[in-house]
Structure 1
Amino acid sequence: MPIRPRTISGNAPSMSASMDWASSPTRSAPIQEAIEMPRFLSGRFALVEARDTLHIEGRFPTDTIDALAQRGHTINRWDAGNEMAGHAHGITIDRRNGVPSGGSDPRSDGAAIGY
């Protein structure tokens, strides 16, 4: 199955946030917090939508969304936690102590399970 645009826009920010936090000397890698971050998608879901529509969860600051609209972006504001933003689940392993941590996306059903 081909990779869908939501896969990239949903998972890449979560992975990036988790890796950034993991490399911080003062912060652990909270995979749950990374997965719950607000998401956006640039592109269309249906042929009737403009290709440059910016779908964005309402949890982004209103000032940010308004500034994007003022710059000419076509905005489709999603409710907070809209499942159209994609689904992500993940497991990280703390390199210092080997402890695994799991995170599950509240936008969907599912779970992070590991052994």
Structure 2
Amino acid sequence: MVGHPSEVAPFKRPRLTPNPAIAILGDGQAVMPFGTPGGDVQTQAMLQVLLNVSAFGMDLRSAIEAPRFATYSFPSSFEPHEYYPNRLALEGRIAGATMDGLRERGHDVLEWPEWTRLAGSVCSVIHDVKHGVLTGAGDPRRASYAVGW
């Protein structure tokens, strides 16, 4: 709507940056809506959870609670658009040997606490179409829960 405070226009910033997604798993045998708050880490956290479920076979809760990492090698979406080349932030539950190996390969490793809200807060529900079962999980990194019906 023209003149509305939230209209799309040059040089405006979005009021929020949601990245909701729906993944179709196992040739349509399951549907997984998911999303998270977290600015530039949103898509990184969501991809890690999706891969944990689809490629690594984790159940939803384990996939969401698994340790995460994020890169800051690109300009931030937010003023003043800072970036940190080669920066990788990893939750403290990731093995120290892994962090050391990344440092040896030239990464600027930033160790986050074992659990941090900076790694997003993914919530999801998986609908097992074949069996009619819903499984939901909320991320313990922030106050969250999943709802499905």
Does structure 1 residue 19 correspond to structure 2 residue 48?
no
Match in the other structure for 1:57: 91
Structure (1/2) with the larger helix percentage = 1
Match in the other structure for 2:22: none
Q: Answer whether contact 1:41 1:54 (CA < 8 A) is retained.
A: yes
Aligned residues with identical type, % of pairs: 26
Task: Mark the runs of 5 or more structure 1 residues left unpaired by the alignment.
Answer: 23-28
Q: Which of 61, 75, 84 is the equivalent residue of 1:32? A: 61
Q: Secondary structure at the match of 2:131?
A: coil
Q: What's the C-alpha RMSD, in Å, of the aligned pairs?
A: 2.1
Provide the C-alpha distance between the structure 2 equivalents of 1:17 and 1:95, rounded to a whole number of angstroms. Answer: 20
Larger Rg: 2
* Equivalent residue runs for 1:93-108 within 5 Å: 93-108=127-142
Q: Structure 1 stretch 55-64 or stretch 90-99: which is displaced more?
A: 90-99
Match in the other structure for 1:25: none
AA aligned to 2:111 is R
Match in the other structure for 2:119: 85
TM-score by length of 2: 0.65
Deviation at 1:71, TM superposition (A): 1.3
TM-score by length of 1: 0.82
Provide the C-alpha distance between the structure 2 equivalents of 1:58 and 1:91, rounded to a whole number of angstroms. Answer: 27
Provide the C-alpha distance between the structure 2 equivalents of 1:93 and 1:20, rounded to a whole number of angstroms. Answer: 18
Provide the C-alpha distance between the structure 1 equivalents of 2:109 and 2:56, rounded to a whole number of angstroms. Answer: 29
Q: Secondary structure at the match of 2:103?
A: helix
Paired residue total: 109
Match in the other structure for 2:29: none
Q: Answer whether contact 1:39 1:85 (CA < 8 A) is retained.
A: yes
AA aligned to 1:99 is V
Task: Mark the runs of 5 or more structure 2 residues left unpaired by the alignment.
Answer: 1-15, 20-38
